Structure 1
């Protein structure tokens, strides 16, 4: 039996929720913005890598994060005295590396969901999330779930203190549009984390807590005006925006032309803009195509919240 699993792109941090907010997104035109991992039986473990961004990954498949997912998953099965067999994995790398769209999370989530599906679901949701976080930590150097959780579960996710439950789903603004503009340049997650300060002032901590609490409250009451009127990132954006050429200029223009909120997706360089209606989103997307993209690899998609998360394709 062969399974094909798709994992969608996500907006890590959602600007105001550093390492604790993340939302899965999908283009409204049906484009698969994410990665696909296929799995089937084989005589020996094997990984093939194809897709638009395959050439941006290590040439040795055993250095790929999907291969590491396979090794980790089989270790978990062995620890739990579960039988496993060799498999062939194929990664269709549709997501640019270092894009701020959860590229590594897409590969990790698609791989682990494919493996869990192939083996008839030996691990539950929380166990899979822990594996996903472990793999993401290998890449970025720190444990955070704000990409893998929405990529896996879909929707808008709020990370919880890590006791038994990793995340909870918040009511998202599904009638709004989210423009995702990837300029075509790479920013590594580790490098983007290294530019952040080691400490913050009391005033910054208070502002961060108030803004995040206000947003969560607005989500439950579906008050978009409150949710997006105070959308200032005091934790990461001030220190990262110099890594995104043209970000300040784009942010100023988008807000002046009807965008509700603008921020850095994950660690960048992708910019996201929240819009109240599709017409405004399309108009601003056209402007971003002309003014924010830096290479031929860049793209702009008008998206909506992806409430499905990782899923098996027909």
Structure 2
């Protein structure tokens, strides 16, 4: 019987200075699997089984699960293109916490579409599949944005173009950087985190945002780590969203005083990230965050790199 599994990694949306247009994939350096897995196999009728450490946080009704919606969306796209629609059983291994700021919904969506596409002999190209992923992500968050689904699917650090093709471009990464990601254990709704933001921003803020993003992209291409780190401040969302994150200011202060080059909110939070160029300092910051930022037993932290590879199907 035909069977395909796909893994899709966690991701950092925004990366502080790139609200809705910049994202990066994450891979713990200790080999921990930080992402969701979806298995697709031949069946006589569709079904979805959910397992994993955060399965109990999802709706009990499979029809309400985003993976089921991915299947129906994928089948509709196949039918529109005159392709045979597969009947499959799907399994979601939910390893990422919901509302964590680690691209949890994006990971499930990317793994589902990637597995379905591989099962269907890769009928859709990368941009077409990425557009599907963005559409389904938008159904959850309230607007289509690619800062989680793109790096999760493609790997690396991705910049959204605003065009239909290519939807993203990959940016160079600073290979010496370690990314400490700490999930506090609480949940922050992406829709709620967007609602807290102002509907308009001052011209001065817009100019700062554009300057920072331009300098950051230039610095990555030039391999100038100091310049890249110097502009990694969030002037759009963090001033408002940090009120949703208990202990954020203290975590930032400790990290920046103990070797971090930059510190920010991953996506909508509550996960925070610190950028370091020294592995020992990265582990020290992770240990402090474990002891002081985590709110309950669901929380965790990992020292990560940005992997070149995103979703993998086999």
Q: TM-score, normalised by structure 1?
A: 0.99
- SS of the residue 1:168 aligns to: strand
Q: Which residue of 2 aligns with 1:190?
A: 191
* Structure 1 residue matching 2:127: 3-state secondary structure: helix
| CA–CA separation in structure 2 for the residues paired with 1:217 and 1:96 | 34
Q: Aligned partners of 2:274, 2:233: CA distance in 1, in Å?
A: 13
Match of 2:296 in 1: 295
Q: Who is 1:202 aligned against?
A: 203
Shift of 1:165: 1.3
In 1, Cα distance between the equivalents of 2:312 and 2:14? 23
Aligned partner of 1:171 in structure 2 is: 172
User: Are residue 214 (structure 1) and residue 215 (structure 2) matched?
Assistant: yes
What is the CA distance between 1:29 and its match in structure 2?
A: 0.6
- Paired residues in the alignment total 313
Deviations 1:140-173 (A, max 9, x none): 0001000000000000000002232100000011
Question: Helix, strand or coil: the match of 1:29?
Answer: coil
- Aligned to 1:274, what secondary structure does the other structure show? strand
Aligned-pair distance for 1:104?
A: 0.1
Aligned to 2:122: 121
Q: Are 1:232 and 2:226 counterparts?
A: no
| Partner residue in 1 for 2:309 | 308
Give the Å deviation of 1:4: 1.3
2:55 corresponding residue in structure 1 = 54
C-alpha contact (below 8 Å) 2:49/2:90 kept by paired residues:
yes
Q: Quick one: distance in 1 between partners of 2:55 and 2:45?
A: 22
Structure 2: how far apart are the matches of 1:142 and 1:96?
A: 21
- Map of 1:101 onto structure 2: 102
Question: What is the rounded CA distance, in whole Å, between the counterparts of 2:216 and 2:309 in structure 1?
Answer: 22
State the Cα deviation string for residues 88-130 of structure 1 (Å, max 9, x = none). Answer: 1000000000000000000000000000000101100000010
> 1:175-223, CA deviations, whole angstroms, 9 ceiling, x for partnerless residues?
2100000000000000000000000001000000001111000010111
Contact 2:179 2:276 in 1 (8 A): yes
Cα contact 2:160–2:168 (8 A) shared by 1? yes
Alignment partner of 1:185: what SS? coil
RMSD between superposed Cα atoms in Å: 0.7
1:132-171 alignment, distance < 5 Å: 132-171=133-172
* 1:13 paired residue number: 14
5+ long unaligned stretches in structure 2: none
By how many angstroms is 1:17 displaced? 0.1
Structure 1 gaps, min length 5: none
TM-score (norm 2): 0.99
